[in-house]
Amino acid sequence: MSGTIRRVEIRGRVQGVGYRAWVEHQARKHGVEGWVRNRRDGSVEALFCGPEDVVADLVTSCRHGPSSARVDDVIEETAGADTLGLRYPGERFSVLSTI
């Protein structure tokens, strides 16, 4: 693990529209580590770890999401390396269960 770690919470119409799969594809395409999951409140939460400019670009992309989504708000914060431990063993980027 190297680089910056950012946690984002995306609100709007972001469940049932392929948002998690879209985030996973974007993260893998850009080679970042982390995870994504749905939350019971209807939001999507993601964690990105990688070069600062790449992570910043991913966070910016989350403000738009896939074409079927409607993003109302993105809350972004710095996260610690311990949050990467939520990934499934052996995976660089995981789609986690809903919490």
Containing domain of residue 64, as a range? 4-84
Q: Is residue 37 annotated as a catalytic residue, yes or no?
A: no
Model pTM score:
0.94
Tell me whether residue 95 is in a domain: no
Answer whether residue 79 is part of any domain: yes
Q: What is the pLDDT of residues 1-44, one digit of tens each?
A: 568 999 999 999 999 999 999 999 999 999 999 999 999 999 99
The structural domain count of the chain equals: 1
State the catalytic residue, choosing from 38, 40, 70, 87.
38
Does residue 56 lie within any of the structural domains? yes
Per DSSP, the three-state class of 45 is: strand
User: In angstroms, rounded to a whole number, what is the distance separating the alpha carbons of residues 41 and 23?
Assistant: 18
User: Is residue 42 in some structural domain?
Assistant: yes
Distance CA 99, CA 7 (A): 15
CATH number at residue 58: 3.30.70.100
Task: Specify the DSSP class assigned to residue 17.
Answer: S
- pLDDT for 91 beyond 60: yes
Residue 72 has pLDDT above 80, yes or no: yes
Answer yes or no: is 35 within a domain: yes
Q: Which of 6, 7, 20, 87 is catalytic?
A: 20
pLDDT (tens digit per residue) in 39-67: 999 999 999 999 999 999 999 999 999 99
Judge whether 93 lies within some domain: no
Mark whether 39 is an active-site residue. Answer: no
Residue 90 covered by a domain: no
Backbone torsions φ then ψ of 22, nearest 5 degrees = -65, -45
Residue 16 within any structural domain of the chain: yes
